[in-house]
Amino acid sequence: MHQAVRFGSRVRIRSEVAMGLKTPLYDIHVASGAKIIDFGGWDMPLSYGSQLDEHRAVRRDSGIFDVSHMCAIDLSGVRVVELLRLLLANDVAKLRVPGAALYSCMLKPSGGVIDDLIAYLLADGFFRLVVNAGTRGKDLKWLQEHAGPFGVSVRERKDLAILAVQGPLAREKTTALLSPAHRDTALRIARFSGAAIDSWFLARTGYTGEDGFEIMLPAEEAAALWQSLVARGVTPAGLGARDTLRLEAGMALYGSDMDESRHPLESGLAWTVAFEPADRDFIGRAELERVRAQGCDAMVGLVLEERGVLRNHQSVFAEASARSPGAPIGEITSGTFSPTLNRAIALARVRPNPPARVFVEIRGQPHAARVVKPPFVRNGKAMDGL
Amino acid sequence: MSENVPDDLQYTRSHEWVRNLANGQVEIGITDHAQQALGDLVFVEVPEVGRELKAGEACAVVESVKAASDVYSPVSGRVAERNSTLSEQPELLNSDPYGAGWLIRVTRSATPTEGPFLKAAEYAQFVKEAG
């Protein structure tokens, strides 16, 4: 038996002594029997047993993820809005009330994606960004380079842990732990916004397509929260389930679906680029304007019609004769098996206007797949027609 | 993680097991170590009955959520039977790798060219050393 494909491009299964960075919950993961992998330099839980069971727990009830490897960065200064309107392709001027959140790409002048992130407006002149683990160093460097002239301070919050509690029962089970006053505050948090509760920040955001919270809290309080939620029947879930959940939800993964060589318009992220107002000159804008006028590849969803599993980097063809002269029309950027649909699904970057049915080359053979618009699953249910 | 290595089977360094059946055929599958390393299996492709296999040839594919792996035939011979239940229930490879999760039964060719296989203790040691 030989392992031909590995999970994602940045992940290696670790079977020897783990050597990477560790979150405050690392010992709990190991004690819970987690299979530990390297992810962006961090020793993280891949799963605690069956990643399919963890996936289903999140779709049907609730699951908890340690995402403390992600990096929280606080930006403060009177000109912070000006800075972020320059650095982000989405427009933080849309954020009007404290706690409001915005998903955005941070671009190079070439339009390539430095990272995707969530920006939270915490208070007047005060934002928090949550960025990917693997991009932490270059993100901080980029932010610091640009923050200086605006007099904005950049502070990495290494003192915080981040837990994601996701699923239809996630909010109920999380808020049950809070005092009555705090529970009311937490239950009033609108979708895609957050609120500070003492030293915690609760945001109604996530990466699964389910309702729930992402909770930033002092690192030393993370273990107690984790154990309280697990005691209430919230299932510990690892990066394996996180990947199948986000892909079913049609959400992009940095490093697979986009990177510095790809711009948001060809990565299914056009909806995150605020071209209006037309006079906001964010970094990357000129190139995106040019691409938008000219047209570019598109990100589509694929559902494999037959049995099998779609994988990253498989070629997509317009016709079944994959070995005949026809060149591929695109490539899968994220492929997996969807536990909810019980079929293989993928995100694929393809030439504009692909046919409704395409063929993916798996081990040299063409396999038919239907072209769909992501997401595949929302709030526990397959999208209509899937 | 505790891994099961039954004493009555033979093993390969590529993590297949071989069982000698009473009718002279051999039954082939993947080890408990292999299924644990792969995680949840979601797709299994086994060869057609009648196919001639050479020892060491890729004869089946097992795919988990995270990885695809080839399975190499430990023996030379003709496929006599294949476990068709696995196309509907690939999870049998996880739950019962040495029983209901068997892949194929092979009628060995007259002059075996393969082996020698590892005994259970040798395979357990091999897995331990490979970490």
Is A57 in contact with A47 (CB distance < 8 Å)?
no
| Record: contact A240-B65, CB cut-off 8 A | yes
Three-class SS of residue B73?
coil
Q: What is the pLDDT of residue A213?
A: 98
Angle at A298 between CA A295 and CA A302, to 5 degrees: 160
Instruction: For residue B66, give the chain A residue with the closest CA.
Output: A7
Number of neighbours of residue A17 by Cβ within 10 angstroms: 7
**Whole-number Å distance between alpha carbons of B122 and B12:** 10
B66 vs A2, A7, A50: nearest CB: A7
Comparing CB atoms, the residue among B70, B87, B130 nearest residue A1 is B70
**Residue A8, pLDDT score:** 38
**0.95 surpassed by pTM:** no
SS3 at position A244:
helix
Domains of chain A by range and CATH?
Answer: 11-65+159-248 (3.30.1360.120), 297-382 (2.40.30.110)
In the prediction, which pLDDT does A385 show? 87
Instruction: Establish if B42 belongs to a structural domain.
Output: yes
Eight-state DSSP code of residue B71? E
Instruction: Residue B89: count other Cβ atoms within 10 Å of its Cβ.
Output: 14
Could you tell me if residue B90 is inside a domain?
Answer: yes
Determine, for residues A3 and B94 on separate chains, whether the beta-carbon distance falls below 8 Å: no
pLDDT digits (tens, 9 = 90+) for A246-263: 999 999 999 999 999 999
Count of domains for chain B? 1
Inter-axis angle of helices A51-60 and A239-248, nearest 10: 50
Does residue B5 lie within any of the structural domains? no
| Residues of the domain holding B91 | 14-130
Answer yes or no: is B2 within a domain: no
Closest CA to A215 of A246, A182, A243, A239: A182
Residue A248's beta-bridge partner residues? Answer: none
Interchain contact, A336 vs B65, CB within 8 Å: yes
- Answer yes or no: is B112 within a domain: yes
Phi, psi of A63 (to 5 degrees): -140, 160
What crossing angle do the helices spanning A136-147 and A80-87 adopt, rounded to 10°? 130
Bond before B116 cis per omega within 30 degrees: yes
Residue of B65, B89, B92 to mutate, testing the A interface (most A Cβ within 10 Å of its Cβ): B65
Q: What is the pLDDT of residues A319-329, one digit of tens each?
A: 887 455 579 99
Phi, psi of A133 (to 5 degrees): -65, -45
Measure CA B102 to chain center: 7
Which pLDDT value is given to residue A371?
98
Phi-psi map region of B49: left, alpha, beta (phi>0 left; psi -120 to 50 alpha): beta
The reply to whether B4 falls in a domain is: no
Gap between the terminal Cα atoms of chain A: 34
Residue B46 placed within a domain: yes
Closest residue by Cα to residue B30 from B19, B22, A264: B19
The string of pLDDT tens digits covering residues A95-122 is 999 999 999 999 999 999 999 999 999 9
Residue environment code for A125-143, b if the CB has 16+ CB neighbours within 10 A, otherwise e: eebbbbbbbbbbeebbebb
Q: Point out the residue among A4, A35, A244 whose CB comes nearest to the CB of B65.
A: A244
Q: What element of type H or E holds A107?
A: strand A101-107
Residues of B in contact with A50 (CB under 8 A): 39-40, 94
Those residues with Cβ within 8 angstroms of residue A109's Cβ, 6 or more apart along the chain or in another chain: A283, A284, A286, A287
Which phi and psi (to 5°) does residue A27 adopt?
-65, -35
Beta carbons of A319 and A347 less than 8 angstroms apart: no
CATH number at residue B62: 2.40.50.100
Residue B3 lies in a domain: no
What is the enclosing helix (H) or strand (E) of A69?
none
Mean pLDDT of A222-229: 98
Disruptive mutation site among B40, B64, B66 for chain A (greatest number of A CBs within 10 Å) = B66
Contact: B63, A308; criterion CB under 8 Å: yes
Residues A243 and A345 sit within 8 Å (Cβ to Cβ): no
- List CB contacts (< 8 A) between B62 and chain A: 1
Residue B27 has pLDDT above 60, yes or no: yes
**Contacts A35 to B, Cβ<8 Å:** 39
CA R_g for chain A = 21
Residues of A at the B interface, defined by Cβ within 8 angstroms: 1-7, 13, 15-16, 33, 35, 46-47, 50-52, 240, 244, 307-309, 311, 336-337, 339, 363
| ipTM score assigned to the predicted complex | 0.88
Name the amino acid, one letter, at A325.
Answer: P
Q: What is the pLDDT of residues A252-297, one digit of tens each?
A: 999 999 999 999 999 999 999 999 999 999 999 999 999 999 999 9
pLDDT in tens, A3-45: 443 433 334 444 444 479 999 999 999 999 999 999 999 999 9
